[in-house]
Structure 1
């Protein structure tokens, strides 16, 4: 793989295309590698999260190469969105689909024949028509890009049979590279995509599945409408999406939000084509703030400035959740994702999945039920949401505190004595000889008198009725939380509960589980919706000027009949309101302003900036001394609020275990807080947290190998000292060297 600009002869051309047409000065993670594979004609499978810049991975090379790129896209709305955006950047692009009139279709075909187009978007069904393939075979194709490529895999969450015919691309066009792009694909799905498309030794490029700019929260569903309205009001004037399971709930929710003064509209497959088209157009053009849709219906929304996504209905898989929630914050700015969780939703999905259909094999049904369990474990878990999602896709998350989920922001209400409660549940699993699932175990703990329990004598177990004063739903939730934290595991087709070694430790009184308090009626989020990343994204931005620029953008977009973000995205407007350029030259250096947009909109936006600054006495041509656009970083520097709350405990000499218990946090998280405390307070003595003999061993190893990294120290100690102790001592040693 080519990684450096020196070794990559295509980097200069790609960077020039990015700057000229899109106004970007550099590549985002993995884009250069993906673009290089395209430029060199090598097949590839590229997995980047929603908002990670997948489209540019084929659009920029298409501009930099000769000929025309073929783009296969499953959604008409998505095609129009991308073509409108490309044309507004000065890139010749078009699409072929059923919305075109005969004259419009003829114009597109003439443009293909004359070689005027750089990108042509086609649906898979139309592409596979003999006439389309013949026409393309006679054109100068540079590459073939397949968007939403997970649709080709039966292992994927959104399989579409018509995608299977795309294997013909390699037969008809053997001399061009074929490239598959998706936001959600496990390793099995990636391999299946390559196999189904007949790719030749494809470059497998997988970016991080983490979306650090998104703040994830899970809340027990209780008075859903009020919970949804709370989020929508928090984001007044901004775009949001609410997902529901049924069409009836979509209609009901949209109508209720409108009565509350929120500009909302329904969107589902039962509505007429014209109504859906009009609703989507109003949403894209900011005439509708909140769109309410069924989770089963793909909207094809490519809107970058969605500031919140609420799942009022449970998604059917974590893959679906990653994609649906991922429609928030595609511009890299902070956004909020709330999942309202209900066991009733799980039961609804289970009925849908188990309903007999001709297409569904027993294996597919079993896989769908396992995927549903994955969502339940995520929702019921008390571990970092970002970590849970990336680990589902086989990746890991650095650091102990993401700073952007309800767990790491300490918004969850935890039970006071989780160890005793966990021991009762795990003891019941043991008394049942690890032969039953969560529902049955739950009933035994609740003291159910059902015949199947009494006939087996389980009403005589010592654990029978141990939690009879608790609601069954709460007990089931605690079981799921213990599963998510690795104390229990579900095995086999029927999800039989087994105790893990970690769970056995709890029975011995060792460990620190975290369990949520039972939800009270009318439960509501204590969250304010903000995070430190949200504050950082607004740093230096004149909000009054930003609002003026938004109005101007809306007027220009309305006149041109294009979505507002096609003119400029929110990230670009914030940059304008931060830098406040006074000349066209300075305006051209604003993030997201390419040559075409500079010519087209420069004078209008410069005029608005000058007028505002003169009227309000605001300085112009601000030098930030750093890259102008601030995208969310994986971790924020310095201690956060959760860490600061732990500082008094460490000052008093509390051990890691004592602090963890007091704070109701996991040991690993508490170690992170201690690390922040040691650095912030410049502590030089590690002995309150690491035994003195161990301190001496670590310090001796540091003297020999230095402070270049923890691994050399760990290896020097023969792997016998844990990394937490090494990290604590190394931090104190480094502090000594600085003082």
Structure 2
């Protein structure tokens, strides 16, 4: 078929005047019955590469696809370009006996050009027997990365496709994927026995996508603030667990954002309904697990937010790739904390060793990407085997937009290469970093490397620093991580040349994402702005004078975290004051008036923009648990039992009671305290708190020379605060 005929067919079936990228060459190759391998990023027009040849060929093309939802979408799309529904069908477990018979009748009559099947359906003997009896034009494998154990979505049943194809028919194969590293590519070709395939690989660069990694602090508030600034725009938020998806969707709804949840735990009808509402723009934001988005062809997704880091760079690339498919703005914001990586590592436990090793290697790549200071686009493309000049990034990633401080790294890179050489290219990054910084780990000891002459050669810097040096050296092409040996560091020719003759090397100062919400203690909600020291001092003085008037310790009125929060939020009504940390309605009514008056005057005099758009309502279910807790205390249940019923430790129960009391609700736990402390001890601690300048526990502990445990002091502080402040 010549060029004009192909273009005519494209216009007739799909209404396009021009092919995109390499589509025309790929389609010609398939029509010539040659094996074809297509690596084309999301949004590049992969499906057309097998749909058009199928419509133009004799017989039925079999398309293997991993997801039922994906098949349904594709079949609907093809039926729309044809004048009869029998042109495309799917065969999977969702069909009834009658429906299966209708599909087979259409294929036998030669009406069906595309048959979508799940790999599981393809392994059934009755289906193999049926397909052997009909003319097949070619086999297409969509999402071909599922074949490779190194792919981000490995499906063991995909490994059997070749033997099944051979039973059915000896026709050409076209394999397609949106993400494949050189390793995955080789794996797919080997497994499908199509080393002779013509390879079509498009650039992985999506130049309209902006990549940014943020430290995972105050993440819910940050997400709400971000979405509110993009009202009415379509976006996807990915979370790791179904539970987090539900919570996040509810939180967004409470805060007036039009959002719905999507995960595999919802029934099929709800899932389909939510997906359609998103496509039809009845809802702006979908909060989802990675089960969502496969085959979602919504061109105008303006942002993709990762609440949790994905398991691999392939997943990250594919999920972020759902933004800006129309070539317009696509912002990819990811919240990163190393704690999430540790959670993902825990999921790997109990899996076969090889799978664990692969999983860890994929995780170490995503850590490198998250913590890198080099151009993120360059890093991603390097991972997919593509060379990119970061000058072309055009500030479309946070590292290029806000470049990191640079330092001369010749000496550091040389030390690193000396160590890799000394270790005979047999160790992974973690071991090399420990060796350089002089960290005596169990592994270092077992190899007796702590006695090696070069051990600790870079001890002036920590492992975090050396990790950054390794990442930048790998991206610069001096070292590579050998996948066959699960990531051991090996030399490239360029690296050997550098070791023999070191030259200048610019290193970028690394990011520090170490402090996340959990480690920071209290993070003020409006932390985008600078903390207002002047107002803070004024509020401290006001609190002091009120405490003298009322003859109570200052912390009984408002604790310091509450005052700090006021300096971020600038509340000027009693209602706004209750949005500050540790302020309930009762406490706001009792003590709030002079504070909001002072803040109002301060805001007016200093012409301050208040971040009121950041007031984020919290979820109702927290207040349900709070009510349950108070009811259980009213029933005088032991605190341990209350904790057990809610799956919480004693420490967590006390923490919740402290939060309830500090926000102004009275809680009576005397029944519990009477069991653990006699009256004299109680009186002694109570008296201490009524005269203390601070409610700090460490100070109280030292004051009593450790006579009372931290728990006893916390419980007495609750009793004191409850009676005095509330």
Map of 2:233 onto structure 1: 238
Map of 1:53 onto structure 2: 45
The whole-number CA distance in structure 1 between the counterparts of 2:487 and 2:23 is 42
The one of 332, 338, 351 equivalent to 2:333 is 338
- How has the CA–CA distance of structure 1 residues 177 and 457 changed in structure 2, closer, same or farther, with 3 Å as cutoff? closer
Map of 1:90 onto structure 2: 82
- How has the CA–CA distance of structure 1 residues 223 and 440 changed in structure 2, closer, same or farther, with 3 Å as cutoff? farther
Residue 310 of structure 1: how far off its partner (Å): 1.7
Secondary structure at the counterpart of residue 394 of structure 1: coil
The whole-number CA distance in structure 1 between the counterparts of 2:461 and 2:490 is 18
The whole-number CA distance in structure 2 between the counterparts of 1:252 and 1:31 is 42
Q: Is residue 2:286 matched to residue 1:291?
A: yes
**TM-score with structure 1 length normalisation?**
0.59
The whole-number CA distance in structure 1 between the counterparts of 2:177 and 2:439 is 47
Map of 1:380 onto structure 2: 371
Secondary structure at the counterpart of residue 513 of structure 1: strand
For the 8 Å contact 2:204–2:381, the answer to whether it is kept is: yes
Residue 337 of structure 1: how far off its partner (Å): 1.6
The whole-number CA distance in structure 2 between the counterparts of 1:489 and 1:67 is 46
RMSD: 4.2
Deviations 1:207-241 (A, max 9, x none): 22222232222222222223333443344323222
For the 8 Å contact 2:436–2:455, the answer to whether it is kept is: no
Secondary structure at the counterpart of residue 27 of structure 1: coil
Residue 179 of structure 1: how far off its partner (Å): 1.4
**Higher RCO (Cα < 8 Å, 6 or more apart):** 1
Residue 430 of structure 1: how far off its partner (Å): 7.5
The whole-number CA distance in structure 1 between the counterparts of 2:332 and 2:180 is 21
**Total equivalences in the alignment:** 507
Residue 433 of structure 1: how far off its partner (Å): 10
For the 8 Å contact 2:55–2:113, the answer to whether it is kept is: yes
The whole-number CA distance in structure 1 between the counterparts of 2:66 and 2:225 is 34
The whole-number CA distance in structure 1 between the counterparts of 2:338 and 2:204 is 27
Task: Map 1:590-629; keep pairs closer than 5 Å.
Answer: none
The one of 505, 511, 517 equivalent to 1:511 is 505
Deviations 1:532-573 (A, max 9, x none): xxxxxxxxxxxxxxxxxxxxxxxxxxxxxxxxxxxxxxxxxx
Residue 498 of structure 1: how far off its partner (Å): 9.8
For the 8 Å contact 1:308–1:337, the answer to whether it is kept is: yes
Map of 2:310 onto structure 1: 315
Map of 1:141 onto structure 2: 136
Map of 1:28 onto structure 2: 20
Residue 56 of structure 1: how far off its partner (Å): 0.2
For the 8 Å contact 1:295–1:313, the answer to whether it is kept is: no
5+ residue gaps in structure 1?
A: 1-8, 527-739
Residue 271 of structure 1: how far off its partner (Å): 3.5
Map of 1:249 onto structure 2: 244
The whole-number CA distance in structure 2 between the counterparts of 1:23 and 1:480 is 46
Deviations 1:259-292 (A, max 9, x none): 2222222333334444333333333333332222
Secondary structure at the counterpart of residue 94 of structure 1: strand
The whole-number CA distance in structure 1 between the counterparts of 2:210 and 2:138 is 37
Deviations 1:342-372 (A, max 9, x none): 211222222222x022xx2x33322222222
The one of 48, 55, 58 equivalent to 1:66 is 58
**TM-score with structure 2 length normalisation?**
0.60
- How has the CA–CA distance of structure 1 residues 498 and 281 changed in structure 2, closer, same or farther, with 3 Å as cutoff? same
Secondary structure at the counterpart of residue 196 of structure 2: coil
Map of 2:220 onto structure 1: 225
Secondary structure at the counterpart of residue 277 of structure 2: helix
The whole-number CA distance in structure 2 between the counterparts of 1:487 and 1:223 is 38
The whole-number CA distance in structure 1 between the counterparts of 2:194 and 2:369 is 34
- How has the CA–CA distance of structure 1 residues 384 and 140 changed in structure 2, closer, same or farther, with 3 Å as cutoff? same
For the 8 Å contact 2:123–2:164, the answer to whether it is kept is: no
The one of 116, 127, 131 equivalent to 1:121 is 116
The whole-number CA distance in structure 2 between the counterparts of 1:433 and 1:517 is 27
For the 8 Å contact 1:265–1:290, the answer to whether it is kept is: yes
Residue 318 of structure 1: how far off its partner (Å): 1.6
The whole-number CA distance in structure 1 between the counterparts of 2:134 and 2:64 is 16
Map of 1:11 onto structure 2: 3
Residue 324 of structure 1: how far off its partner (Å): 1.9
Secondary structure at the counterpart of residue 62 of structure 2: strand
For the 8 Å contact 1:306–1:335, the answer to whether it is kept is: yes
Residue 431 of structure 1: how far off its partner (Å): 9.5
Residue 115 of structure 1: how far off its partner (Å): 2.1
The one of 374, 384, 395 equivalent to 1:393 is 384
Q: Is residue 2:141 matched to residue 1:153?
A: no
Q: Is residue 2:192 matched to residue 1:197?
A: yes
- How has the CA–CA distance of structure 1 residues 467 and 217 changed in structure 2, closer, same or farther, with 3 Å as cutoff? same
Residue 113 of structure 1: how far off its partner (Å): 2.5
- How has the CA–CA distance of structure 1 residues 201 and 401 changed in structure 2, closer, same or farther, with 3 Å as cutoff? closer
For the 8 Å contact 2:438–2:456, the answer to whether it is kept is: no
Q: Is residue 2:438 matched to residue 1:411?
A: no
The whole-number CA distance in structure 1 between the counterparts of 2:365 and 2:256 is 36
For the 8 Å contact 1:96–1:120, the answer to whether it is kept is: yes
Residue 54 of structure 1: how far off its partner (Å): 0.7
5+ residue gaps in structure 2?
A: 529-726
Map of 2:126 onto structure 1: 131
The whole-number CA distance in structure 2 between the counterparts of 1:497 and 1:199 is 29
Q: Is residue 2:322 matched to residue 1:327?
A: yes
